[in-house]
Amino acid sequence: MAEPGSTESTLLRGTAIFAAAVTVVLYLFGLLLVGLAVSQVGSGADSTPMSQCRYALDRPESVQVDAHQVQFMPPRVLCRTTDGREFTSEVVPFWLNPTLAVTFAATVVLTAAAFVQADRRAAARWATTRS
């Protein structure tokens, strides 16, 4: 016979593991996109500065792109203009980083809840053996 609450505990742990897996997959997808874009810089005609910086929608008007900077947390590429302004390139889709933040928060909350539930089950087991 299964212990009371074991089904809920298994479901909670499984959901936490699934949320963690989704977070890892999304993060690796973002890193892949950034890596592919940066690997094309400097390898061919019309490749410097990176085209994602030159043709970005939020690029300031009538300025020249000077350089780019890769950030890994969150995965993105910042483009820098000759006058020092920065803007985000469109290497990583706009929805990826907010979704990554939500899945990471869900992973933390679900993992904490699983630990609390496991602690409560252990305390209840200990109380029944002491009686």
Q: Which residues pair with 125 in a beta bridge?
A: none
What is the sign of the dihedral through the CA atoms of 56, 59, 61 and 62?
negative
Q: How many CA atoms lie within 13 A of 66 on its CB side?
A: 8
The amino acid sitting at 11 is L
What's the predicted TM-score (pTM) here? 0.80
What percent of the chain is modeled with pLDDT above 70?
Answer: 87
Strands of the chain (E only): list them.
65-72, 75-81, 86-88
Phi, psi at residue 76, to the nearest 5°? -165, 170
Pairing, β 65-72 against β 86-88: unpaired
Q: Looking at residue 19, what is its pLDDT?
A: 97
Give per-residue pLDDT as tens, 27-55: 999 999 999 988 877 766 566 677 787 77
* pLDDT confidence tier of residue 3, bands split at 50, 70 and 90: low
